[in-house]
Amino acid sequence: MAGAAVESSFDVAYWFVDRALNENEYIQPQKTQRLMYLAQAYFAVAYNGRKLMPAVFVADQFGPTEPNVFRACAIQRPAIDVIPVPPLVNQFLDSIWRRFGSLSADALSRHVNGHSPYQDAFAKGVKTEIPLPDMIEFYGRKANAEPERSTRIGAPPIERVLRPRTMVSQAGKPVSVHQWRPKSSS
């Protein structure tokens, strides 16, 4: 399996912070954490288990958290050289932002905290790692709009999260295209 698509979790965190600023919005740290978590999960679904960023998420009392970015950004944005993300990652993060960016930090936390990967890890104890395979299984299900338990909340399937690319057909007409993803053999 290939390495992560970006070099650092800060590249993704700052992408979301900068995107919010470009839209004249202040993004709360908790919202940034949830967006990073969803981006990691959906990227792994879309790209056959490949990580978006070299990160581990833990079940914090407020929701899934990437502890290194959380600690580094607790007081203020640290002066870190952030490398611009590749075009594929930029388009992917744009899709995550378009789907979830309009939600408040509280609404996004309530939503994500109802998902089984977080709930299962949190049940084992605060700061328990949320396994990437659990994230892939949950966010990769087509039927995850049907909660497993009454206390769990479903998540949109990847087809409703990822924004299709628009290209031009040979006849000159715009067409929407998605990356081909073969079905798993399980």
What DSSP string describes 6-46? SS-HHHHHHHHHHHHHHTT----HHHHHHHHHHHHHHHHHH
Range of the domain at 89: 9-177
The pTM of the full predicted model, rounded to 2 decimals, is 0.81
Tally of domains within the chain: 1
Say if 186 falls within a structural domain. Answer: no
In a domain, residue 184? The reply is: no
For residue range 105-143, list pLDDT tens digits in order: 999 999 999 999 999 999 999 999 999 999 999 999 864
Model confidence over 42-81: pLDDT tens digits? Answer: 999 999 999 999 999 999 999 999 999 888 777 666 677 7
Scanning the structure block, which residue is given the tokens 């049940």? 123
Read off the tokens for 167: 């290209």
Residues 57, 130 contacting (CB under 8 angstroms)? yes
Task: Write the Ramachandran bin of 144: left for phi over 0, alpha for psi from -120 to 50, otherwise beta.
Answer: alpha
In sequence order, the β-bridge partners of residue 176 are 166
Structural domain contains residue 147? yes
129 falls within a domain: yes
